[in-house]
Amino acid sequence: MDRESAWARVRRNWPVRIGGAVLAALALTALAAPWLGTVDPTLFDPGSRDLVPGRLGEITTLDGEIIKHTFWFGSDSFGRDIYSRVLYGARVSLAVGLLAALLALAFGIVCGLCAGYLRWLDGMVMRFMDGLMAIPAILIAIALVAMWRGSLATVVVAIAIPEIPRVTRLVRSLVLSIREEPYVEAAVALGTPTRKIMFGHILPNTVAPLVVQGTYICASAILVEAILSFLGVGLPPDIPTWGNIMAEGRPQFNLYPHNIFIPGAFLAVTVLAVNILGDGLRDTLDPKMAKRV
Amino acid sequence: MSILEVRGLTIALPPGGDRRHAATQVSFSVDRGEIVCLVGESGSGKSVIAQAVMGLLPGALPVAAGEILLEGEDIARAGGPRLRELRATRMSMIFQEPMTALNPVMTCGGQIDEVLREHTRLSPEARRARILGIVREVALPEPERIVASYPHQLSGGQRQRIMIAMALVLEPALLIADEPTTALDVTTQAQILKLIQDLQKRHGTGVLFITHDFGVVAEVAHRVAVLRLGELVELGDRDAVLKRPRHDYTRMLIGAVPTLQPHGRSAEGASEPLLRTVGLGKTYQARGWFGRGREVRAAEDVSIEVRRGQTLGIVGESGSGKSTVARCIIRLIDPTAGEIRLHGTDIAGMSASALRPLRRRVQIVFQDPYRSLNPRRTVLEAVIEGPLNYGVPRGKAIERARQLMALVRMDPGSMSRYPHQFSGGQRQRICIARALAQEPELLIADEAVSALDVSVQAQVLELLEDIRTRLNLAMLFITHDLRVAAQICDHVAVMSRGRVVEYGPAAEVFGAPRHAYTRALFEAAPGRHFAFGAA
């Protein structure tokens, strides 16, 4: 595949542009949350409980000061501002998605490269991965959170672990086909050390499918984080995440559906954007899937 | 009347390509009982024309002008339903790769039956009789068993016979054969060519035969059409075109076809062999979980030697073990028996670390120029990789790479580019430069010119010969092509089923082959009795 034109193709691709733009907007919103008319997402005020979206109310700051505040997305049963919580929650979702994908890719690449190129390691690594795949992902997550209590790091690790075997399998299968390529054999004949062959010749040629796989992991990680929070086994309830907001909104869903619909819509749009981005990248980067004339 | 008449056929290419048309104003005809060969190098548009005749052109390549008359009916403008009626009944096609052209999950008989069910109203018994009849006609043994077999149970030659049976079962007026023997071994190729000729004579079928191989053209053609970049440059009787070519391009192509005569240069090699194998063998053992697995002897008891300044050719068909020997010698795979003596030192069982200093002395050039270079590394990085591995300073390695690029007749200024920006022949030159950067004593060329067009092949062969002489290299040249072997080798080892069956100076092996297999191999070489007249 052409190296320069691959990047040009990526930039011309509409799904990549749309998915990328939505994600960029979300990331900017999440980062700039303090300046977008939000209040501290942990603040509550008993006087402003269960407000419908757009209502004006009051909220007590940590200093005990009472300020006027418009609840654009309404408030929950503690009187917390959903708008602020959703915006701050985007930080958690995006961070979890990105970090879990990077972590799974990093471990998966190392394991897959070793299993694929150093054949004596293959059996051991792959049987371990088979074992890992046999444990339900949610169970691993619940066990880890129970052991280490909920924090961002725990949740990221808990989500990344079940993804590692899949990345390992993908990398291993790519390595198995690339190692038979004549250019790899030529490198062996040129006396190139094994380490350089693995990281210099083989790894760069696995990047395109891995980037694509990374986006899918990212999307699923964002969903799983929301599920864990919703089940109450993710981040502690005082940290705003989309899952937590929905979990707190669940008992009063009949009366105040916005508590679930608004974070749910953000979640759906984010996952959709990541998946669209991934599809676009797959069409442009992955030569096997590329549409040819 | 002509069965097929192509008039002023122009096929457009998508915009942004290197030329505007895949075929420009091409006109030719195929008569009843005639074989017309469409010859050209890769990219000449010969396959596109075949696809146009079958109505199989992809949407991106529309017929822009001209007509294709099949028995007087213009099929360039026929719709899908009409084309479906015509295919198999009035025209049919056989393809290059018989494995992928057959459905692997249907029996061979079932696939022929499909044609009959689609186009006739014969009863099942009549269809079965017809299938067995055509299978017998393409000279397949035990028709009943073959009809019930799946494609993977047959050999490549047998699969191609099934394809031919399928194509001819409804006695079409026109048969299009798109490189039908290119994927086959030379002895199988000879049989298939004979079969196509026999059937064509018996049924009076007109054949449009597409090939890049002038040996095949000489063997089968009545008339020849030469294509170049989508334009028809010469059209005429076989003898006229092959013996008295008028167009410069045809002359160049025919001049580039290597002869079967050994070159006859005296190659005085050094007295001491640089490399000697003694009883070299490689056995693959498929180890199952339960019980003993299958044993495959890829190479057995191979004893050859190469001296500096000499070229040893290893000739054989696919599966003969010739590449296995090469890969053992360069230790890409570990031999299971015998010795490989480089300067007298046995390297067959050497550990990777002990082997490392010796690796640079033996280098290899592979067959496929499109896969031999890492697509993500520049040419410069590829050429200097070897020297850097052995501690040559970067500046010095780059300097040497420049000299080598000039040596392989490439522009040293193009080294910062990526492999995809070069043609197949240029890439093969880069691979040669990469191998030479290690200053090897032995250069292995594993089918190094087999994937190249004949004109490029001639240039690369000449380059290899020149380099061997200039650098006093020993060369091990692996090929399935007897013509190429005759061109370049001083000694020849003929391999069959993992063993060397004949080994000696090229002039002797080519002049008076002793072993029956060698004789069969020569007998099968297409066009061997034909004197190409490029004079």
Q: What is the DSSP string of B437-462?
A: TT--SEEEEESTTTTS-HHHHHHHHH
- What is the reported pLDDT for A99? 95
Residue B5 gets which letter from DSSP?
A: E
Residue in the block written with tokens 């998605």: A97
Judged by CB atoms closer than 8 Å, whether chains meet at A190 and B389 is answered as: yes
Residue A168 vs residue B511, higher pLDDT:
A168
pLDDT digit string, tens, across residues A189-228: 998 999 999 999 999 888 888 988 999 999 999 999 888 8
Q: Tell me the nearest-neighbour CA distance from A197 into chain B, angstroms.
A: 11
Q: Is residue B268 pLDDT above 60, yes or no?
A: yes
| A5 CB neighbour count, 10 Å cutoff | 12
Domain assignment present for A77? no
User: Looking at the domain B2-90+172-256, which fold is it?
Assistant: Rossmann fold (3.40.50)
Q: Which residues pair with B285 in a beta bridge?
A: B295
Q: Is residue A286 pLDDT above 80, yes or no?
A: no
Radius of gyration over alpha carbons of chain A, in Å?
A: 23
pLDDT digit string, tens, across residues A88-113: 989 998 999 999 999 999 999 999 99
Tally the C-alpha atoms within 13 A of residue B111's C-alpha that lie toward its C-beta. Answer: 24
Domain assignment present for A81? no
**Cα end-to-end distance, chain A, whole Å:** 15
> What is the average pLDDT score of chain A?
86
Three-point CA angle B506, B510, B514, nearest 5°: 105
Judged by CB atoms closer than 8 Å, whether chains meet at A185 and B364 is answered as: yes
Three-point CA angle A93, A99, A100, nearest 5°: 85
Q: Tell me the CATH number at A127.
A: 1.10.3720.10
Average pLDDT over residues A250-278: 89
Q: Is residue B131 pLDDT above 90, yes or no?
A: yes
Q: Which helix (H) or strand (E) holds B187?
A: helix B186-203
- What is the reported pLDDT for B522? 87
- What is the reported pLDDT for A291? 43
- What is the reported pLDDT for A95? 93
Confidence band of A3 (pLDDT split at 50, 70, 90): very low
Percent of chain B with pLDDT over 70: 96
Pick the residue from chain A with its C-alpha nearest to B352: A191
From chain B, the residues in CB contact with A193 under 8 A are: 389
| A161 CB neighbour count, 10 Å cutoff | 19
Q: Encoding tokens for residue B316?
A: 């054989």
- What is the reported pLDDT for A197? 92
Judged by CB atoms closer than 8 Å, whether chains meet at A186 and B431 is answered as: yes
Domain assignment present for A70? no
Average pLDDT over residues B330-348: 90
Average pLDDT over residues A265-280: 92
pLDDT digit string, tens, across residues A131-145: 999 988 888 888 888
Q: Please check whether residue B230 is in contact with residue B237, taking contact to mean a CB–CB distance below 8 angstroms.
A: no
Q: Tell me the nearest-neighbour CA distance from A212 into chain B, angstroms.
A: 18
pLDDT digit string, tens, across residues B411-444: 888 888 888 888 888 999 999 999 999 999 999 9
Q: Is residue B292 pLDDT above 70, yes or no?
A: no
Domain assignment present for A196? yes
Q: How far is CA A177 from CA A170, A205, B388, in A?
A: 11, 11, 26
CA atoms of B166 and B111, how far apart (whole Å): 8
- What is the reported pLDDT for A212? 87
Q: Could you give phi then psi for residue B156, rounded to 5 degrees?
A: -60, -45
From chain B, the residues in CB contact with A3 under 8 A are: 375-376, 418, 420
Residue B534 gets which letter from DSSP?
A: -
From chain B, the residues in CB contact with A187 under 8 A are: 374, 385
> What is the average pLDDT score of chain B?
88
Residue A34 gets which letter from DSSP?
A: G
Pick the residue from chain A with its C-alpha nearest to B356: A191
Q: How far is CA B435 from CA B364, B365, B370, B439, in A?
A: 6, 7, 16, 8
| Residue-number span of the structural domain to which A219 is assigned | 11-38+90-285
Q: Is residue A187 pLDDT above 60, yes or no?
A: yes
ipTM: 0.79
Percent of chain A with pLDDT over 90: 38
Q: Is residue B175 pLDDT above 60, yes or no?
A: yes
Q: Which amino acid does the sequence have at B458?
A: A
- Segments in B374-515 forming alpha helices (H): 379-389, 394-407, 424-436, 454-471, 482-488, 506-511
Query: Looking at the 3D structure of chain A, how many domains does it have?
Result: 1
Range with the lowest mean pLDDT among A55-59, B407-411, B530-534?
A: B530-534
From chain B, the residues in CB contact with A189 under 8 A are: 330, 332, 359, 362-364, 435
CA atoms of A95 and B230, how far apart (whole Å): 56
- What is the reported pLDDT for B511? 86
Q: Encoding tokens for residue A112?
A: 């897959």
Contacts for A265 with CB less than 8 Å, ≥ 6 apart: none
Considering CB atoms only, which of A186, A191, A201 is closest to B434?
A: A186
Confidence band of A40 (pLDDT split at 50, 70, 90): confident
Helix/strand/coil (H, E, C) string of B91-124?
EEEECCCHHHHCCCCCCHHHHHHHHHHHHCCCCH
Contacts for A257 with CB less than 8 Å, ≥ 6 apart: none
Q: Is residue A290 pLDDT above 80, yes or no?
A: no
Confidence band of A33 (pLDDT split at 50, 70, 90): confident
CA atoms of B495 and B47, how far apart (whole Å): 33
Residue B154 gets which letter from DSSP?
A: S
Q: Encoding tokens for residue A134?
A: 């046999």
Residue in the block written with tokens 């690369």: B460
Q: Please check whether residue B475 is in contact with residue B464, taking contact to mean a CB–CB distance below 8 angstroms.
A: yes
Q: Please check whether residue B23 is in contact with residue B61, taking contact to mean a CB–CB distance below 8 angstroms.
A: no
Contacts for B239 with CB less than 8 Å, ≥ 6 apart: none
Average pLDDT over residues B31-35: 92
Residue A245's nearest CA partner among A73, A21, A119 is A73
Q: Is residue B9 pLDDT above 60, yes or no?
A: yes
Q: Tell me the nearest-neighbour CA distance from B65 into chain A, angstroms.
A: 21
- What is the reported pLDDT for B123? 93
> Which of B11, B376, B447 would you mutate first to test chain A, the one with the most A CBs within 10 A?
B376
Contacts 24+ apart (CB under 8 A), A24-28: A26/A90, A26/A94, A26/A266, A26/A269, A26/A270, A26/A273, A27/A90, A27/A94
Domain assignment present for A3? no
CA atoms of A201 and A204, how far apart (whole Å): 6
Considering CB atoms only, which of A1, A2, A191 is closest to B359?
A: A191
Domain assignment present for A291? no
- What is the reported pLDDT for B270? 65
Average pLDDT over residues A239-257: 85
pLDDT digit string, tens, across residues B43-88: 888 888 998 999 888 888 888 899 999 998 898 888 888 988 888 8
Judged by CB atoms closer than 8 Å, whether chains meet at B359 and A189 is answered as: yes
Helix/strand/coil (H, E, C) string of B13-63?
CCCCCCCCEEEEEEEEEEECCCEEEEECCCCCCHHHHHHHHHCCCCCCCCE
Domain assignment present for A293? no
Range with the lowest mean pLDDT among A66-70, B438-442, B504-508?
A: A66-70
CA atoms of B28 and B2, how far apart (whole Å): 10
- What is the reported pLDDT for B92? 92
Residue A37 vs residue A142, higher pLDDT:
A142
Q: What is the DSSP string of A153-211?
A: HHHHHHHHHHHHHHHHHHHHHHHHHHTTSHHHHHHHHTT--HHHIIIIIIGGGGHHHHH
B→A interface, C-beta within 8 Å: 14, 58, 60, 330, 332, 356, 359-360, 362-364, 366-368, 371-377, 385-386, 389-390, 418, 420, 431, 434-435, 438
- What is the reported pLDDT for A2? 46
Where do the domains of chain B lie? 2-90+172-256, 102-170
CA atoms of B175 and A245, how far apart (whole Å): 71
Q: Which helix (H) or strand (E) holds B332?
A: none
- What is the reported pLDDT for B291? 60
Q: How far is CA A233 from CA A76, A149, A162, A236, B225, in A?
A: 20, 9, 16, 8, 75
Q: pTM here?
A: 0.82
Average pLDDT over residues A78-84: 83
Q: Is residue B450 pLDDT above 90, yes or no?
A: no
Average pLDDT over residues B392-398: 93
- What is the reported pLDDT for A70? 78
Q: Tell me the residue ranges of DSSP E strands in B248-310.
A: 273-285, 295-302, 305-307
